[in-house]
Amino acid sequence: MKRNLLSIQDLSSSEVQHLIKLALKLKAQKGKLSTILKDKAIGLLFQKPSNRTRVSFEIAVWQLGGKCLYLAPQEIDLGKRESASDVAKTLSRYLDCIVARTFSHKDVVDLAQNGSAVIINGLSDLFHPCQGLADVLTIKEKYGNKKIIATYIGDGNNVCHSLLLACAKSGIDVRVATPEKYEPAEDVVTLAQVFAQESGSTVEVSTDPGAMVKNADVIYSDVWVSMGQEDEDKKRKKDFKNFQINSDLVKNAKSDYIFMHCLPAHRGLEVTADVIDGSNSVVFDQAENRMHIQKAILAFLLGETK
């Protein structure tokens, strides 16, 4: 029976830990080519343009010995030119796996329910599981199994949702600070709290960034205005103005904290240049780890390495 990865909740805590260990193992091989995905065809079905997601998946598939095909937004026009159901049924005749980068999470679900190809959520409006797993990989690479606090400050969006679930399943205490009306979805927070109780970690959501950053080991931010939200630009910049990661705010964290951002970043908005370009920043290690965790995901779902 095929396994999909639509959200981190699709994985058990032990599987999350397995993926982290497998990613570290694959990373240590420094790009050595393998045959894990020999004779496997993977399609990148994107509604949104991408830098990290596209390149990291294409290189990951190549290094694992598979064939990767990029399907640009204008080529499929998912949900408009053709329904997600019909696309899933058609592409499943050609592909072993589809990495879907969509606006609506429903499109990812429809692809998973209507085709035989394995579906990996490369980003939807609700979740970004590959990013969340790469984030935990980066944290574990830095701190090992030490008990730490990770604080996310900004919009309670798809990145925030997946970070909540990934940290909760990994035993990492996670805090979130957002402006009012930008909190993460209540059902996602509740689910994260269930996972946290199982792993011995905690989940806290607040509108006070200073309190959430206090003694934090990790400070994480994302853009205030994501793709598809451009018409909210002016309002969001006003609403988030007190949630900028800057030198004053990070003084409340531990002196050796690490700064994380899923990129692209807007210096001078959600984070100042001195923070993201400073010695505490690991944003490019984090970006690299997208490729390594995705290699682990592909190997786990499609290869012989379980």
Count H helices and E strands in the chain, helices first: 13, 9
143: left (phi over 0), alpha (psi -120 to 50) or beta: alpha
Which stretches of the chain are DSSP H helices?
13-28, 52-63, 73-76, 84-91, 105-114, 129-143, 158-170, 186-199, 209-213, 233-239, 247-250, 273-276, 283-302
Residues whose CB falls within 8 Å of the CB of residue 81, separated by 6 or more in sequence, listed in order = none
HSE-up (13 A, CA, CB side) for residue 63 = 20
Residue 139 CA to residue 144 CA, distance in Å, equals: 8
Name the pairing type of β-strands 67-71 and 97-101. unpaired
Name the nearest CA neighbour of 299 among 108, 96, 141. 96
Which stretches of 92-220 are DSSP H helices?
105-114, 129-143, 158-170, 186-199, 209-213
- Which residues are part of the catalytic machinery? 101, 128, 131, 222, 262, 290
Residue 55 CA to residue 70 CA, distance in Å, equals: 10
- Asked whether the beta carbons of 161 and 185 are under 8 A apart, the reply is yes
Q: Which tokens in the block code for residue 21?
A: 């260990």
Task: Find the helix packing angle between 105-114 and 84-91, rounded to 10°.
Answer: 40
